[in-house]
Structure 1
Amino acid sequence: MAFDGKTIVLITGANGGLGYATAKILLCTSSDYHVIVGSRKGYNGVEAVSKLQAMPNIKGTVSSVQLDVTDDASIALAAKEVEETFGRVDVLLNNAGICLLDPDMLPTLRKTLATNVIGAVAVTEGFKGLLRLSSAPRLVFVTSSMGSLTHAADPESPHFRTKSGLEVSEYRISKAALNMAMVQIGKVYPTEGSGLENLKTLGVDPGLNRTNLLGPRIMKSDAAKHLPEPNVGASLIASVVKGEHDDKLGRVVGKSGINVW
């Protein structure tokens, strides 16, 4: 097959922000990578692929798939398309996420959990069979120190409150739940006879970067002006994808090492 010698990397929410920046880094790293840009709206994925292919220093190959992490039918169709084209997934990067600023907490929490937690688990379940067909499967969850109970309960922590003054409680709750999902999946999937005994599971905290996740209100604030560009956080994500932190399996990798829970 044409992709036998490549590492097939599927990134959810990769038409912009950290997902897109991570795809750029991987594609410019080696010809061994084929990146599949997962995008909630198919045309956004197609546009992202065109931009990536136009990079002068691209080495790897790239394609897109329509993938809405909150839609089971979309996940199933995406998995079928990837299976028919590539036959496997070597790295599943659960990157898609939202941070809503609606003051009405309960509906905001439901929407946030649907994408940031249920969506990530649903995609992982939907692509589990394709990870099983890889000789070196890797599962990565993009999370945040904002989901750390230790930081959230410590008034001296830089993550006790946001610099913008917004609590984003729903986002914090979702990332705390995602961390537990990552730990549990990392324990349950590789059981004997599962076909995923060699699965490597990690979380990665790229820190706060200037992306559309923040929304226009925060992006226009003074605090956002000092945030790093997406390539900064994406560099850490890419390093986890490449296997540079395999001594930290089952934990969340941050810029300073292993994050506290």
Structure 2
Amino acid sequence: MEFSGKERKVALVTGANKGIGKEIARGLARLGITVLLSSRDPERGAQAVSELAGEGTLLFLQLDVTDQASVSAAAQEIADRFGKLDILVNNAGIAVKQKTTSEVTADEFRKVYETNVFGVITVTHELLPLLHRAPAARIVNISSNRGSLGSESAFRGQPYISYSTSKTALNGITAHYARELANTPIKVNAAAPGHCATDFNNYSGPRTPEQGAAIAIKLATLDEHGPTGGFFDDNGPVPW
């Protein structure tokens, strides 16, 4: 099946029933893109879609990024309904309660990495064939300034080693996918939303989720001249 550039774009945002993910879904829908708002919990996902009624075309898609069967089923549903995927925003992420670096156990690392790293790989791998079928797909991985090894701001405040290093790994994964896809129309970038007020951090951030979503929306809608293989926040490139 062939698709023309004039056809409506389809985007998938993982972990989009609240916070920054929900605002990314809202922003993309406002641009006329059909947005698949995904969540592990069907009730919460459906509620989010209901709350965004009137913003554009948003559809709920059940998806647990840590469950291969769930990811495969979601990919099949997208293939059956749309035949392609134009935008993938890997937003789903978790963190464990903060501890000092030496107190964090290997099991706590595994729990965080299962969603923040392996979940992204699982989803991207499964959906890449559909991304190749779009005229010029975009992949955006939601990272964090805490994932930067070259930014001093990443180390301010209490250490958060499992979460921070999961985002460092995600940045590396972003660079590798971008390198492999460099000769295709697909662009792959990582976004740092900044410290936003969400339940992820007990609403301690000075930025709103809408502000945090802006860089992801920008990277998800890059034109053919836009960058690939980069790590960006609102101010431009972030040091790796």
Q: Give me the TM-score of the superposition, normalised by structure 2.
A: 0.91
Unaligned runs of 5+ residues in structure 1 are 152-156, 192-196
Does 2:174 align with 1:182?
A: yes
**Other-structure match for 2:39:** 39
* Secondary structure of residue in 1 paired with 2:94: coil
May I ask how many residue pairs the two structures share in their alignment? 233
CA distance, structure 2, for counterparts of residue 20 and residue 43 of structure 1? 15
Q: Which has the greater radius of gyration?
A: 1
CA RMSD after TM alignment = 2.0
* Secondary structure of residue in 2 paired with 1:237: helix
The answer to whether the 8 Å contact 2:194/2:207 transfers is no
Listed as ranges, the matches of 1:209-248 within 5 Å are 209-214=196-201, 216=202, 219=203, 224=204, 227-243=206-222, 247-248=226-227
Residues 244 and 228 of structure 1: CA distance in aligned 2, closer, same or farther (over 3 Å): farther
Residues 18 and 246 of structure 1: CA distance in aligned 2, closer, same or farther (over 3 Å): farther
The answer to whether the 8 Å contact 2:181/2:187 transfers is no
| 1:52-102 Cα distance to aligned partner (Å, 9 max, x none) | 11x4xx2x3110111101010100001011111111100011011111116
Does 2:160 align with 1:158?
A: no
**Which aligned runs of 4 or more in structure 1 are off by greater than 4 angstroms?**
none
- Report how far residue 170 of structure 1 moved: 0.4
The answer to whether the 8 Å contact 2:61/2:74 transfers is yes
| 1:137-169 Cα distance to aligned partner (Å, 9 max, x none) | 111111011011112xxxxx232222xxx3111
98-107 or 139-148: bigger deviation: 98-107
* Secondary structure of residue in 2 paired with 1:38: strand
**Other-structure match for 2:127:** 127
Unaligned runs of 5+ residues in structure 2 are none
1:116 maps to amino acid: N
CA distance, structure 2, for counterparts of residue 25 and residue 173 of structure 1? 28
Give the percent of matched residue pairs that are identical in Structure 1 and Structure 2: 32
The answer to whether the 8 Å contact 2:145/2:153 transfers is no
Q: Give me the TM-score of the superposition, normalised by structure 1.
A: 0.84
167-176 or 205-214: bigger deviation: 205-214
